[in-house]
A and B are shown apart, each in its own frame.
Chain A
Amino acid sequence: MALLLNTHFHLAVDSLHRNRGRTFLSALGIAIGVASIVLILSLTGGINHLISASSNKNNADLILVRPSTGKNIADNIISELTSNNQFTKSNLTLEDVNTINDIPEVSTVAPIATSVSAIKIGDRTVQSANIVATSPAFADIASLHLKNGQFLDSGLRKNIAVLGYSVAMQQFGGTEAITKTFTYNDKHFMVVGVLDELSDPINYNGINIDESIIIDINYASTFESSIQIQQINVRTTTTDAVSKATEAIKQKLTETKNGDESFSIITSAEDMHPAGSLLSIVSGMLTLVASISLIVGGVGIMNIMLVSVSERTREIGIRKSVGASSGNILLQFLFESIILSLIGGILGFTLGYIGAFVLSLITPFAPYISWQILAITGTVSLSVGILFGIYPAIKAATKDPIVSLKYYH
């Protein structure tokens, strides 16, 4: 049996080799489909990798509590797509922050509430500044480093602010912005610190801290009637306490909210970055679109195999008359289409990788090639070969030898 398979393999290779031009073109169809899938997967993989590499740094003891409006996935997609307003109806409150802070396993807690509003710097009005209201513990939790001055401190005045690096550079004339003032919501704020530029502006907070003005949440709650907490960042005392703390937070919050469970708790074991699920949806969609080109390639293979079968009707007749069984003929043609699509798969994988590499030169993401992508490529091209090769092969195998021998073309 192994010998027979080996022979069929060689027969198929020989026959493909004889029709090199045709083989190359039909493999190219598959190659383009596979290349686009590899490109998409490696790029989204690269982005994912970049994000999770930066957000999972030192975050093993981190728990995020986020409000969630419901379990419906479709709703989540829409709310994620409309990102800035995503949690406008947050049901997390400052009391919840205190509740969480009381749990023994929790070491620090920092709520985050963001809004985009106009601020006045002197006479100038900045229309859309990102205001982040949080607590002093945030610097610790998010590992923020100061370039100048200091972070929020409960011991200081309430109306102070810390600037993200970009905001300081663009709106406050450089990193020496300390003691400069601005007006937000008719309240005066004084800058007490400027943050260092962050290496990972995209992170689990869902905000770009470089672009943000950080103010105290307790103060903000005094003049903003309903403050919307988008996220509560919790750090536990030890890494081992994460699961226990998670349970406790869930229980306590459910208790204080009278059984309302419309919040979600995320630990670093899961995907923490806010863009994660959106990214995987987009990459899934793109892969789906790319697989359409794979189907086109598959139909191309089927077409070329059907032509090949009818061209070689006489050969099939001869082979049958000298002792080939229908199974032999079936295998011979099936092997041809499988090899054809595997060649396409290998070609496509190489092309896709080269493409991803070229793209990585102009984008910040390194191409991400994993064995999963290789496995997907292999499986996909193998199944395309079988799927689109089986019909022509059956057609070849069921040909009547007597009729085939009389066939002229």
Chain B
Amino acid sequence: MSKEKNETIIELKAVTKRYGFGDAESFALHNFDLIVKRGEFIMIMGPSGCGKTTLLNIIGLLDKPTTGEYLLNGKNVEHISSRKKAHFRAKEIGFIFQNFNLIPNLSVIENVSLPLIYSGYHKVRRLKKADDILERFHLREREYYMPHQLSGGQQQRVAISRSLISAPSIILADEPTGNLDSRNSHIIMEELRDIHAQGNTIIMVTHNPALTTYATRVINMLDGEIDTDIKTVDDSELPRPGDPEKISVRILSKKRPVELEVDSKTKVVVSGQHVTIENDKIKPKSTKKKTDNKAKKKHKAEKKES
């Protein structure tokens, strides 16, 4: 899947969303133009009622603009059937919500595998994929927990796993940290940053200005229009799916050593502040070579509150 760099995936042309008629008429979006390139991490800010959620809903094909054009991957979505739109949502779009929106009576793994049902995966393959992705988010032991048995941060990680499971080209996050405390917010933002680093496009709505440091582009909205639009990273610097894999590790336990298998031959052991890399091919003591491994590995041992 070699995708051209800086490929435009979303293009909104003079999109207007109007509610009500006559005296009661109000605009959630007014002549809104937006071009999103692959690999961007856009943070949308603005006061309540400025049309942020409406914008996400339109991009996520849940809502239709009153007027204007929306091109997704260069294709005008105005005339595609609702069935096709649903198919698009299943394959190309991942949603993350403020209140997690997990189905309460499905287990974690079933919740995560939900989008695959609608893209025609067999049950065994669904669960296998969900298992893989949950492992990535360190939730493997929680697979058969019910959502209410998890903390808010864990629930949001489950929701993020779900949004990623069908490898969508856009991830839409509507205040993903809104219901979380600062520690969990931070964890979730780290996850999103990792996802972004792997070449995913993320559009996120937030009220928290502190989070804008994670973004490559910050859009401020006011009354359904763009107020300011700042790019902090040049388009050419945006990550792509083909980029070397970066692995980040967060160590939450200081006492117990943590072992991580990078692949079948390489193992990383984190114990306190010491990081050891074990590889069959590499002889001991030649630690320098390891960093030149074909996959550039960045290990981050984060120690957070004792």
Contact = CB atoms under 8 A, between A and B. Distances in A.
A324 B118 CA distance: 6
A320 B62 contact: yes
B91 A323 contact: yes
Given A3-B122, A314-B101, A325-B87, A401 B62 contact: yes
B97 A324 contact: no
Nearest to A401: B62
Contacts of A366: none
A328 interface: yes
A327 interface: yes
Taking each of B83, B87, B101, B122, which has the highest tally of chain A beta carbons within 10 Å of its own beta carbon?
A: B101
Given A325-B82, A326-B82, A3 B60 contact: no
Contact of B114 (A322, A325, A401, A402): A322
B123 A319 contact: no
Contact of A325 (B63, B83, B97, B101): B83
Contact of B101 (A3, A4, A321): A321
B180 interface: no
Nearest to B57: A402
A7 interface: yes
Interface in A310-333: 314-315, 317-328
A44 B83 CA distance: 51
Interface residues of B, number: 29
A324 B120 CA distance: 11
Interface in A262-321: 314-315, 317-321
A322 B123 contact: no
Contacts of A324: 86, 90, 117-118
Nearest to A328: B118
Contacts of B105: 15, 18
Interface in A393-409: 401-402, 405
A11 to B, nearest CB: 8
Taking each of B60, B95, B162, which has the highest tally of chain A beta carbons within 10 Å of its own beta carbon?
A: B95
Given A18-B105, A328-B86, A321 B123 contact: no
Given A3-B120, A402-B63, A321 B95 contact: yes
B120 A318 contact: no
Given A326-B82, A402-B63, A405-B97, A315 B103 contact: yes
What's the interface size class on A, roughly?
A: 20 to 34
Contacts of B83: 325-327
Nearest to A4: B120
B276 interface: no
Taking each of B90, B97, B118, B120, which has the highest tally of chain A beta carbons within 10 Å of its own beta carbon?
A: B118
A346 to B, nearest CB: 25
B149 interface: no
B283 to A, nearest CB: 48
Given A10-B123, A328-B118, A323 B87 contact: yes
Contact of B115 (A4, A315, A322, A327): A322
Contacts of A318: 101-103, 114
A408 to B, nearest CB: 9
B119 interface: yes
Taking each of A4, A317, A321, A323, which has the highest tally of chain B beta carbons within 10 Å of its own beta carbon?
A: A323
A405 B101 CA distance: 8
Taking each of A315, A318, A319, A405, which has the highest tally of chain B beta carbons within 10 Å of its own beta carbon?
A: A318
A314 B100 CA distance: 12
A326 B118 CA distance: 11
Contacts of B87: 323, 325
A319 B114 contact: yes
A323 B115 contact: yes
B240 interface: no
A124 B166 CA distance: 99
Interface in A170-218: none
A328 B117 CA distance: 10
B86 A323 contact: yes
B119 A323 contact: yes
B80 to A, nearest CB: 12
Contacts of A3: 120, 122
B34 to A, nearest CB: 20
Contacts of B90: 322-324
B118 A322 contact: yes
Interface string B75-116: 000000011011111110001010001110100000000110
A325 B86 contact: yes
Contacts of B117: 7, 11, 324
Nearest to B162: A322
A315 to B, nearest CB: 5
A322 B115 CA distance: 5
Contacts of B63: 402
B257 to A, nearest CB: 38
A17 to B, nearest CB: 10
A325 B85 CA distance: 8
B152 to A, nearest CB: 17
B2 to A, nearest CB: 26
Given A326-B82, A402-B57, A321 B122 contact: no
Closest 3 CB pairs of A and B: A323-B90, A325-B86, A323-B118
18 contacts: A3-B120, A4-B120, A7-B117, A11-B117, A319-B103, A319-B114, A319-B118, A320-B86, A322-B95, A322-B114, A323-B86, A323-B118, A324-B118, A325-B83, A327-B83, A328-B118, A402-B57, A402-B62
Interface of A: 3-4, 7, 10-11, 15, 18, 314-315, 317-328, 401-402, 405
Interface of B: 57, 60, 62-63, 82-83, 85-91, 95, 97, 101-103, 105, 114-115, 117-120, 122-123, 162, 166
Given A321-B95, A324-B117, 13 more contacts: A7-B123, A11-B117, A320-B86, A322-B95, A322-B114, A323-B89, A323-B91, A325-B85, A326-B82, A326-B83, A328-B86, A402-B62, A402-B63
